[in-house]
Structure 1
Amino acid sequence: MMYTTQMDAAKKGIITKEMEIVAKKENMDVNILRELISKGKVAIPANKNHKSLNPEGVGENLRTKINVNLGISKDCCDIDEEMKKVNLALDMKAEAIMDLSSFGKTKEFRKKLISSSNAMIGTVPIYDAVGFYDKELKDITAKEFLDVVRNHANDGVDFVTVHAGINKETASVFKRNKRLTNIVSRGGSLMYAWMELNQRENPFYEYFDELLDICEEYDLTLSLGDALRPGSINDSSDACQIKELMILGELTLRAWKRNVQVIIEGPGHMSLDEIESNMLLEKKLCHGAPFYVLGPIVTDIAPGYDHITSAIGGALAASYGADFLCYVTPAEHLRLPNLDDVKEGIIATKIAAHAADIAKKIPKSRDIDNQMSKARQELDWEKMFELAIDPQKARRYRKESTPKHDDSCTMCGKMCSMRNMNKIMSGKDLNLLRADN
């Protein structure tokens, strides 16, 4: 039986090779996975032209996935340097990479990225439009915006962020409700500016059916962007954000009717006490579609440490139902991240995702923690390094301050609780002052 997309196959009762791979990774019955895909609660972004892809599922009852943003810009357009970040992200097993390139040889970088990456690849086509056509934003036509999406889809991109929810109706709500930080989404601000400059409806909203044609042809997953996500904790959960979420929910149903997979993008900046209600509201208004969040960043005063503020919010968000975390690096709000920033961002986000999986009781999520605890109890340093999320750093810290006795560290020495409990529990003498072991 023929099918057009993963969702189409799922509705027809067909189990695809991508479903089989994801089910095995998730320790899940493939028929349960297929049912979740048929209902839109899980997406497997897998463009037909991305031949090197090792597919992942995003959504209900699955492990929390992480995304790494990178790409060339006008100020930093070194493709080789960005590919180093790509290789680092792949080595650290990030499930997704988003190419946010906005200047220069974007197509060259995108094709190189797709051909070398087994992670799913996302893009934001509106970033590429100005450079692609060498036109000012105002002069780009609705058809040209759609053609950029098609170009990315043809290259093999697995999901695209499209800010279709900021239509005239949503924009009017924004104009009536003053914000501290206005519109902070780069793509959202560009789309709003185009609408204002041309006094036209958002082309991605007006021609949403044509957009779905492209998605259906390539099995391109739509990541419905949150143009009005809060860019400060002052603006979170306001009328602008909620109105757009309602529009995204309507667009989700239209996409599902065409068997197009959907991921919903969410905040943003948000105080801790609002995160749970926002996750519940998104799932309700968007009919259980997978939810992809940037952070949330839980305080606005930590430039240089936003990988931490983001990880705090991300862990909480994912524990309450977010399915996909976009990493944030220490360079957020300051500059393009370098290689070290990328590593710090990935590690912080992986910690958040794993902590949430434990809270969500994802099958086998605790296994590695129990293995680490056993290695600590046995004072098996090599095993601890092997299990660590960053083995290099753990090994370096141990090496930088070497204890006199291997069965301890320089914090506690012979007062190490693990060492002493092992001795006492096995009936041995305890020697804190004597020179012998």
Structure 2
Amino acid sequence: MTTQLEHARQGTITKQMQIIARTEGLSESFILDHVAKGEIVIPCNPKRPGQKVTGIGTGLRTKVNASIGTSSDICDVNLEVAKAEAAQEEGADTLMELSAAGDLDNVRQTVLANTDLAVGNVPLYQAFKEAIRKYKNPAKLDPEYLFDLIEKQLDDGLSFMAIHCGINQYTIERLRKQGFRYGGLASKGGTYMVAWMDINKKENPLYEQFDRVCALMKKYDAVLSLGNGIRAGAIHDSHDRAQMAEMIINCELAEIGRNQGCQMMVEGPGHVPLDEIEGNIMLEKRMSGNAPYYVLGPIPCDTGAGYDHITAAIGAASSARFGADLICYITPAEHLALPDVNDVREGVRATRLAARIGDISKYPDRRENEKQAAMARRDMRWNDLEKYLLFPEIARKTREERAPAQQETCTMCGDFCAMKKGMEIFEKDITDKR
């Protein structure tokens, strides 16, 4: 398998690169150049030739990932399919299937069959769940089984994987020496790998045999997303020594993987106060050679449970502004319960909005859509306005349910409409050439 990265380094513009150039409104040479540098990745496992092609990285629209998956309390494959379909309908760019209960092979394969999005996962989930099922003890996980499982999942058609390669004995020692954490550990896969290493007194096999991980990913031209297993679960733990140790290692591994021809992406936090987001992204970009950055939220406060799709959207907008490339949504159920279909919809909408806010700040030359929306609103051209909105169906429904007496206005102001009065005063003076 020749990867997208290797094709680009050979000067070959692939069909996927052409699609990305067209959808992003950029030149094919721009896409080629940044794929060759490892600054853009294209998750496109050829086992699923019909999947939607999306690019993640420098110069591109900030992408949104939606995560779904079963738990031991709520395990319904039909529900997960409904959530996957809802995420796609709402405009998610990628999907992560993160099930941790039930027939995990069946759940994964069923979700893959019911979405056109590029799908990723965390292989450690199934690895440890199978060890628990077979041995009643996750510490008995056989590393050889883990590598076999990664290949099996890739063969099903996964296009990216969050693999916790950056956890090693050094990062664990940092946790001990700093007195653990206020917010504990937030990563399921990362925490179980830490436990495996601690009990077995062995190094993380994903770190120790990193070349083997890359070889498997290359075989299917899948993107290796270097998992953030020691990420902070509270803003008071943000950028502590343990998190930074893993970040440094992941950035080093990103360079190693690229040199081997593997598409690489780095994962980030997590929980980060707003004033630290810019610095976090600067560090990842600087240390990784501008590898695409996939951030999980981030959530900039710890007291928003029930509305964490909003707290995360605030963090996501700032992240997109400063250079994050893929943002994992957060739903209203975060920290409280497994998301339902409505939670998925709200999470995708909030994160898409945050990404748009970040992008029009990151790329000031891409604000034309915002200007057209503003002028349509000024002119009270309601049908035209819908063409520029992120959520036109919701806007239309709201307006129809609360229809105004004067159709050119809305019920917010009624006959006391500022827009209408302003147009009466300045209609002859209007120029839209500023």
Deviation at residue 61 of structure 1 after TM alignment: 0.7
* Gapped regions of structure 2 (runs ≥ 5): 429-434
**2:383 aligned partner:** 382
Amino acid at match of 1:164: C
> Could you tell which deviates more after superposition, 368-377 or 306-315?
368-377
Task: Give the 3-state SS of the residue equivalent to 1:415 in structure 2.
Answer: coil
Aligned to 2:5: 7
Q: 1:9-408 counterparts in 2 under 5 A?
A: 9-132=7-130, 134-135=133-134, 136-178=137-179, 179-361=181-363, 365-408=366-409
Given that 2:172 and 2:194 are in contact with CA atoms closer than 8 Å, whether structure 1 keeps it comes out as: yes
Q: 1:74: how far off?
A: 1.7
Secondary structure in 1 matching 2:282: helix
1:194 is displaced (CA, Å) by: 0.9
CA contact (8 A) 1:222 1:262 kept: yes
Q: 1:277 & 1:200 partners in 2: Cα distance? A: 33
More off after superposition, 399-408 vs 320-329: 399-408
More displaced, 382-391 or 183-192?
382-391
Q: Once structures 1 and 2 are overlaid, which stretch shifts more, 157-166 or 23-32? A: 23-32
RMSD over aligned Cα atoms: 1.6
Q: Determine the C-alpha separation between the residues in 2 that align with 1:113 and 1:351.
A: 26
State the match for 1:425 in structure 2. Answer: 426
Separation in structure 2 between the aligned mates of residue 176 and residue 200 of structure 1, nearest angstrom? 19
Aligned with 1:77: secondary structure? coil
Distance across 2 between alignment mates of 1:425 and 1:274 = 45
Residue 118 of structure 1, CA deviation: 2.1
Cα distance per residue 1:133-164 (max 9 Å; x no partner): 53331111111111111111111100000111
Shift of 1:386: 4.2
Which range moves more in the overlay, 156-165 or 113-122? Answer: 113-122
CA distance in 2, matches of 1:402, 1:253: 57
- State the distance in 2 between where 1:376 and 1:286 align: 43
Tell me the distance in 2 between the aligned counterparts of 1:299 and 1:142: 37
Q: Choose 130-139 or 337-346, whichever is displaced more.
A: 130-139
State the AA in 2 paired with 1:375.
Answer: A
Aligned partner of residue 225 in structure 2, secondary structure: strand
Take 2:402 and 2:16, find their aligned partners in 1: how far apart are those partners?
Answer: 47
Structure 1 residue identity aligned to 2:356: H
What secondary structure, in the 3-state scheme, does the structure 1 residue paired with 2:6 have?
helix
Alignment gaps of 5+ in structure 1: 428-437
Which secondary structure does the structure 2 equivalent of 1:98 belong to? strand
Deviation of the 1:58 alpha carbon: 0.5
- Read off the aligned partner of 1:374 and give its amino acid letter: M
CA–CA separation in structure 2 for the residues paired with 1:257 and 1:132: 33
- 8 Å CA contact 1:185–1:227 kept in 2: the answer is yes
Q: CA deviation at 1:105?
A: 1.9
Amino-acid identity (%): 39
Q: Please name the residue that 2:431 is paired with.
A: none
TM-score, structure 1 length as denominator? 0.94
- Verify the 8 A CA contact 2:80 2:111 in the aligned structure 1: no
How far is 1:9 from its partner? 0.6
Tell me how far apart the structure 2 counterparts of residues 350 and 254 of structure 1 sit (CA, whole Å): 32
1:219: Cα distance to partner? 0.7
Amino acid in structure 2 at the alignment position of 1:6? Q
Secondary structure, in 3 states, of the residue corresponding to 1:387? coil
**Following the alignment from structure 2 to structure 1, what is the Cα–Cα distance between the partners of residues 400 and 18?**
43
Structure 1 counterpart of 2:311, one-letter code: T
Deviation at 1:366, TM superposition (A): 2.0
